Structure 1
């Protein structure tokens, strides 16, 4: 059985929430990659984006992904863009089981509209702009997301569904 599981998907897809539940059910640890970065660099993700730009953020995100890919018995919630930069998707597939939490653009939109989290890529967008942004970004990112070893229907999969996929890998 795999010693490491990466949850990937668009922002708001449930990677952190589901990751914690799966980790608890397996008696493993959970790492939210964004929180790992914030703790390591003592800045929030929005601060890093604002002060250093997305390119710098993506570089440190890749470095941190490599660091956590050495940990065993871990569920890792990757950032929404993590699979799309450098060779991050390949690293995840080589070092563990990658699971894509697939959602429709409308479900992502509904979740993000009610989210209390600050997300630098969508801040200040109207509802219509946000939905269009989600549709475009999902279309770009699915090229990477679909390289996952397991594609989970994020709106309907239960913890038990994830456990079966992990144990069967």
Structure 2
């Protein structure tokens, strides 16, 4: 089984994905961590140093490398499904699961996190709500292409749905 966990930044994909992968007996891969290991630079570093388009090419190459694996749960970056034909590729080879976390909850998490997020960082050190909401709304059509939508980290529902898919 190949599962791709998608959703906006700070939706809880990595935490949720680790738990879900454990329940399903799948190896868990955080795409951002994989990129860091493979390239020696974090996604944030790539974004700051080379820009988003350059980073998305690296991210896509890493995603395509992982797609060849036999079974996994991959927690993607928030923008992964929105670049090139990544979403179509993920839908073709596996199951896409959108962790649909409400925007208010996401913005609250982003407001208190210390993590670097170059796409929304600013001099005030507090994300601009309109800027974040604009990016969120830009990405929604891609997230809505997921085969399964799970509201705000409903682990039991996700486990049941994926186990039923596994049986097919």
1:116 CA drift (Å): 2.8
| Superposition deviation, residue 128 in structure 1 | 7.7
- Aligned pairs, number: 165
Is 1:19 aligned to 2:21, yes or no?
no
Which residue does the alignment assign to 1:104? Answer: 102
Name the counterpart of 1:50. Answer: 48
The CA RMSD over aligned residues, in Å, is: 1.6
**What is the rounded CA distance, in whole Å, between the counterparts of 1:126 and 1:153 in structure 2?**
31
TM superposition shift of 1:125: 6.0
| SS state at 1:168 partner | helix
Question: For 2:157 and 2:48, how far apart are their aligned partners in 1?
Answer: 38
Tell me if the contact between 1:6 and 1:99 (Cα under 8 Å) persists in the aligned partners.
yes
- How far has the Cα of 1:53 moved from its partner? 1.3
From 153, 164, 167, the counterpart of 2:163: 167
What SS does the corresponding residue of 2:41 show, helix, strand or coil? Answer: coil
Runs ≥4 in structure 1, deviation > 6 angstroms? Answer: none
Q: Which runs of 5+ in 2 are unaligned?
A: none
| TM-score with structure 1 setting the length | 0.91
TM-score scaled by structure 2?
0.91
Match of 1:34 among 29, 32, 35: 32
